[in-house]
């Protein structure tokens, strides 16, 4: 298991599992929904949203903020890539 886990859209998980297991009945759909409701959730911010917040300015605070955010995104992507190769 990687250190960050996998963050996924629960609606996508529901749809994939419904299709994969050929769920057809209301009881099957309800059982899957109940099971997914038991999964712990976390607050997650999409990378593309963070990138959109990076200031496009030459003011000191904006440059520092941009450097920090880009560094964090790069580190996240490196760690995510390393987790896939383990």
Q: Which long-range contacts (CB under 8 A, 24 or more apart) does 42-47 make?
A: 42/7, 44/7, 47/73, 47/76, 47/77
Which of 77, 48, 54 is CA-nearest to residue 66?
Answer: 54
Residues 50 and 33 in one domain: no
Output the pLDDT for position 82.
Answer: 82
pLDDT greater than 70 at residue 1:
no
Residue-wise pLDDT for 9-59, tens only, equals 999 999 999 999 999 999 999 999 999 999 999 888 999 999 999 999 999
Residues 75 and 56 in one domain: yes
Distance CA 54, CA 47 (A): 11
Residues 50 and 70 in one domain: yes
Q: What range defines the domain where residue 61 resides? A: 45-86
pLDDT greater than 90 at residue 86:
no
Residues 57 and 31 in one domain: no
Full-model pTM: 0.60
Number of folded domains that form the chain: 2
Residues 49 and 85 in one domain: yes
């Amino acid at each position: 298991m990687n250190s960050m886990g996998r963050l996924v859209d629960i609606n996508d998980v529901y749809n994939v599992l419904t299709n994969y297991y050929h769920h057809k009945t209301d009881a099957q759909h309800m059982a899957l929904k109940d099971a997914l409701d038991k999964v712990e959730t976390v607050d997650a911010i999409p990378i593309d949203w963070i990138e959109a917040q990076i200031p496009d300015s030459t003011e000191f605070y904006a440059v520092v903020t941009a450097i920090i955010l880009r560094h964090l995104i790069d580190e996240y992507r490196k760690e995510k890539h390393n987790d896939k190769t383990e």
